[in-house]
Structure 1
Amino acid sequence: MTQPAVLPTTVVAHSVGKKVPLTLSVFAAIVLVCFGALGSTASAHFGLSSAGDAFTLPELVLPGRISNLIIGLFMAGIAALAWVRRNQARPLGRGWIIAFAALFVLSFLIWVVSGARTPSISLAGLLAGAAVLAVPLVFGSLSGIMCERAGVVNIAIEGQLLGGAFTAALVGSMTQNAYLGLIAAGVAGALVSLVLALFSIKYVVNQIIVGVVLNVLVSGLTGFLFTTVMQADAELYNHPPRLPIIEIPGLSAIPILGPILFKQSVIGYLMYIAVAVVWYALFKTRWGLRVRAVGEHPKAADTLGIKVNATRFWNVTLGGIIAGIGGSFFTLVAVESFTKEISGGRGFIALAAVIFGRWNPIGAFLAALLFGFADNLQVILTIIGTPVPSQFMAMMPYLVTIFAVAGLVGRSRGPAAVGEPYLKE
């Protein structure tokens, strides 16, 4: 009679594993030894206010070595808690993982800034720039979530972003209306997705191959039209108006949060709305329940009367619209013209954000912000003269994704039926 009570505990203990506590221990040791004991004794200066703020916050000054030693001890404490939880057959809560990651980022910032020739950066500017750079990544990751929650792998995010950027520039230039360019970008993203849906769902072609081919196709097509059409008359075809930055009076002047939340373009505000709407739709509505059912167990969903392939088709199309709007950011907000490969591989980083965010809109949003933070930080590191190579920051999103996929910072599992075509018997 006692054996059945012991068996579940044994199974859970095995499922918890030691990868998470071991990974946390390694990173805590890195902070204590490399960033702390061997780090610079100089102080890192962080500006918390920017020009135009309603009030000025004092500069944050943190001594490099001492601060990192203290942070390392806190991180070691979380790692120790992870080992205790493992021995108790209990997983470490997600909040502790987030706190550990935040401490590591803070420690890394202190380390690189304190060791730079100019040990001072504007933290407010760094975060605001990260939010701006994350905009296309967020839209791309939402597109990936919409598709993969329904069971379709969306490798074509890069093509959707690039198609949206090109169409926004072309239509915006010809009409001199940035908002028409924004709408056209969504249509372009939908067209790319329609091709993905048609071949992968109707004709049951391998979804990854279709996505890769679409990326190459869109890249080649936009490059050809850029050379033959846009460069022939750039004033007519490649000079779109920019979407204005809309400041919310009073709120935009709040230090740190103001420029991030209340000083954005239309696309920036749409980003926050899209994250909230997609999350609510997927997890709080009947429609979202059906979509997730299709992605997890399409045969069971079909048995309940859900049209599996129709649901997948519409989700892929909606995802393309979202990604296309995100692509318009490049030509309607960031710069005033289209160039070849303007998306710069950000579609693949958005796909990484989907995985790292565990197929959750909020998680993907936070992951995209982290990747935008790394992208902005590599530019700042070059300016302040830190010995850390800026290329190291460029590869950080992919390293983090590898950790997430490998389960080193917790389990990351996508929808069970993703990538599997459904043929009704």
Structure 2
Amino acid sequence: MNIVSGLLNTAILSGGVLALAGLGELLAERVGVLNLGVEGLMALGAVTAIATVAATHDPYIGFLAALAVGAVAGSLFAVATVLARASQVLCGMALTMGGLGLAATIGRTYAGQPAAATFEALPIPLLDRLPIIGPALFDQNILVYLTYLILPFVLQALLFRTRHGLTLRAIGENPAACDAAGIRVIPLRFIYVVLGAAVSASAGAYLTLGFVPSWSDGVTAGRGWIAVALVIFAGYRPWRIVGGALLFGLVNALGYLAQARNWGIPSAFLSMLPYLVTMLFMILPALLARGRFTLSAPAALGVPYYRDQR
């Protein structure tokens, strides 16, 4: 594998973690709920996957376990924010801190140990032999195909090609009007917050079973926060999230390449480069919103809905 193909391969693997976490966050934000607990959800998913695989030696069961744990944590978050109408920001921060702390406690047993089983590459015949792009694009594990080829198509079709997707977007814009039209706002918000949390937690399983095959405290390394920023930068659209994730992945891959090739760039700068890019992407939406690139958030994002006040 040459340098370009290796760089692209690392970018795809690294970006997939962010893409999966961002698509999960998108599900919650499209119905008007801001979930800042993505970092904690990813940590819980990562350690759950490692612990489950250690017991079962089956990465598929580990991935499903991460989804289940994410759904449970998302249900608690939804009860607090959707039903009890607590502050979404504070609950999200609590989910992040609690998730990180619980994952660190559970993960002590598995720290530094390689994953007992991981997702193996599934090459696509003929396509994997294409020069440069073949090994990078078509010789990946099933989670990469799920993240880049299946889930974005499904979410794009759901949100922008179906009546149900129109309903979800309307709930994020004007829940009172939806309620007046007979749409069950609270149940739908609850369901999609839970689904989004499950998908975000599965990004942690992707991290420890498909990208970095081991657990260590802090393995998520702020990726959850980058995923939240990525959703904003992407204008709350699935394919833009995937494209932005690839860009972040490329930044990470360049950092790895610079260290491996000894380019003389300080390692501290390479480590903080993804976060500098994140800050830049938080500023860009304000500038791009003046043009044709629509970046406006759902109007009701972060606002609790009180049915008696509609």
In the superposition, the TM-score normalised over structure 1's length comes to 0.67
Q: Which amino acid aligns with 1:418?
A: L
1:204 aligned counterpart, secondary structure: coil
Q: Which residue of 2 aligns with 1:415?
A: 298
Q: Quick check: which has more Rg, 1 or 2?
A: 1
* Structure 1: gaps of 5 or more residues: 1-49, 52-121
5 Å-filtered alignment, 1:161-176, equals 161-176=42-57
Instruction: Give how far 1:173 is off.
Output: 0.9
Q: Does 1:253 align with 2:253?
A: no
Which of 309, 316, 321 is matched with 2:198 structurally? 321
Contact 2:14 2:249 in 1 (8 A): yes
Instruction: Give how far 1:242 is off.
Output: 1.0
Which of 112, 123, 138 is matched with 2:19 structurally? 138
Cα distance change on mapping 1:223 and 1:375 into 2, 3 Å: same
Q: Which residue of 1 aligns with 2:88?
A: 207
Instruction: Give how far 1:269 is off.
Output: 1.1
CA distance in structure 1 between the aligned counterparts of 2:136 and 2:166, rounded to whole angstroms: 32
Contact 2:53 2:116 in 1 (8 A): yes
CA distance in structure 1 between the aligned counterparts of 2:37 and 2:30, rounded to whole angstroms: 15
Contact 2:226 2:275 in 1 (8 A): no
Instruction: Give how far 1:399 is off.
Output: 3.0
CA offsets 1:57-78 (integer angstroms, 9 cap, x no match): xxxxxxxxxxxxxxxxxxxxxx
CA distance in structure 2 between the aligned counterparts of 1:274 and 1:149, rounded to whole angstroms: 16
CA offsets 1:31-61 (integer angstroms, 9 cap, x no match): xxxxxxxxxxxxxxxxxxx36xxxxxxxxxx
5 Å-filtered alignment, 1:66-77, equals none
**Percent of residue pairs identical:** 32
Instruction: Give how far 1:287 is off.
Output: 1.1
Which of 378, 393, 399 is matched with 2:255 structurally? 378
Q: Which amino acid aligns with 2:124?
A: I
Instruction: Give how far 1:176 is off.
Output: 1.3
5 Å-filtered alignment, 1:143-292, equals 143-227=24-108, 229-230=109-110, 239-272=115-148, 273-292=150-169
Q: Which residue of 1 aligns with 2:215?
A: 338
Instruction: Give how far 1:387 is off.
Output: 5.5
2:301 aligned counterpart, secondary structure: coil
Aligned positions, number:
301
Contact 1:377 1:393 in 2 (8 A): no
Instruction: Give how far 1:140 is off.
Output: 0.6
CA offsets 1:112-159 (integer angstroms, 9 cap, x no match): xxxxxxxxxx22221221111011100110011100000000111111
Cα distance change on mapping 1:216 and 1:392 into 2, 3 Å: closer
* Structure 2: gaps of 5 or more residues: none
CA distance in structure 2 between the aligned counterparts of 1:352 and 1:404, rounded to whole angstroms: 11
Instruction: Give how far 1:376 is off.
Output: 1.0
CA distance in structure 2 between the aligned counterparts of 1:292 and 1:147, rounded to whole angstroms: 11
Higher relative contact order (CA 8 A, sep 6+): 2
Q: Does 1:397 align with 2:277?
A: yes
> What's the RMSD between the two structures over aligned residues?
1.9
CA distance in structure 2 between the aligned counterparts of 1:420 and 1:385, rounded to whole angstroms: 49
- After the TM superposition, list the runs of 4 or more consecutive aligned residues in structure 1 that deviate by more than 6 angstroms: none
Instruction: Give how far 1:378 is off.
Output: 1.5
